[in-house]
Homo-oligomer: A and B are copies of this chain.
Amino acid sequence: MEDPPPAFSADRRHAVLKPPADSEAIRPEPAELFRDNPVSLSTLRELEGQSVLAAGQFSFNQVVELCKLSAILEKIEVWPFHPLDGKIAVTAFFEASTRTRTSFESAILRLDGKIISIADGSTTGQAKGESLQDIGEMFNAYADVIIMRHTKTEAPQQILENLRIPLINAGNGSGEHPTQALADWYALLKWNPRLAEPYRRGTPKLNLGILGTPGSMRAVKSFLLMALLFKDHIRKVTVISEMADPFGEEVTEKLKAAGISYQVTNDVREHLPTLDVIYMNSIAFLGDSYKNMDSRFKLTAESPLKESAVILHPLARLDELDTSLDKTSHNLYFSQAHGAVFVRQALLMSVLGRLKALPSFVNLEDPES
């Protein structure tokens, strides 16, 4: 796509997302993903009407095309085209999360959709014992898509017994958090666009690291399961943790079957400097409880990081990820947070079948037209 017409350029709005002048935080140029590289609408149309429950449901092509569309949505003002006109989303946060809820709500509002907001499950019928099956039947009449976070891992499966509109899983107990994984990989694809292409022999492969022992595993689990799509670009996954087997067989078996070397260690000092991408988890936010964290698992500007290493963290954070890293070139986590809104926009437009709202100046490959 060429630069969008000035009237629809989001450059002014995006100026606020640029790090301040004295910061070296990474802010990759989204256009790298779609310049001379049209978005395949036929691939995105595969998502129409689909629920989004797990990282593993996406194909490599779907992730790449979603990221290309996200990059376009970063660069243009899309609300004048009213993509979600007439569509209603329920943000059903039975497990409260202001960050994730407001991220989704921003995505929906920028697309000119409408929202019914349930910010907290404690005053709902759910809290009094109403079944998720009944809530699913009810939601059929209220909205066009449900975005749900719940403390119970089986919640999506229960609500889908009766729900007949798409469900987007925003976190289910110790299950998954697929849109967070999309945001994570969107940040990585912008940082290193070669990940979106077939691996070329001789290109350096990445060492991914997971730092800390997450009590709530779902964001990291989804991240690793989506990493399988990029397996050819990954040499090794190193989990730096006090636990012997934090992720269980589901994840470790898949990583091994994909040919990715996998190691669990508690030796931060030896392994941290080998990592290209460090995924740090919101360790402190475990539902309503807190864990005391060994200071070895904190990152600061003094940590022995590879010079080119980048850090991902789904945020919110306490002190496991020190603010001294915010202005360094290791900081990919602010870009990751900002990009999450656009990834959710791309996903909603695809799931709700509103890709046709994209303006004609956007570079699309559309066999139907």
Which of B96, B130, B284 touches A316 (beta carbons < 8 Å)?
B130
Which of B90, B109, B134 touches A315 (beta carbons < 8 Å)?
B134
Residue of chain B at shortest CB distance from A95 = B123
A114-B109 in contact (CB<8A) = yes
List the number of copies, as a whole number. 3
Question: Does any Cβ of B come within 8 Å of A142's Cβ?
Answer: yes
A164-B16 in contact (CB<8A) = yes
B99-A315 in contact (CB<8A) = no
Q: Mark A107-145, 1 if CB is under 8 A from B, else 0.
A: 001100010111110011110111101100110111110
Interface hit among A212-220, A299-307, A334-342: A334-342
B138-A125 in contact (CB<8A) = no
A128-B88 in contact (CB<8A) = no
Q: How far is the CA of A290 from the CA of B125 in the complex (A)?
A: 12
A134-B86 in contact (CB<8A) = no
A interface, how many residues as a size bin? 35 or more
A141-B316 in contact (CB<8A) = no
B141-A338 in contact (CB<8A) = yes
Q: Mark A84-102, 1 if CB is under 8 A from B, else 0.
A: 0110101000001111001
> Which of A102, A141, A316 has the most C-beta atoms of chain B within 10 angstroms of its own C-beta?
A141
State the A residues within 8 Å of B (CB): 13, 15-17, 20, 77, 79-80, 85-86, 88, 90, 96-99, 102-103, 105-106, 109-110, 114, 116-120, 123-126, 128-131, 133-134, 137-138, 140-144, 164-165, 284-285, 288, 290, 315-318, 323, 334, 337-338, 340-341
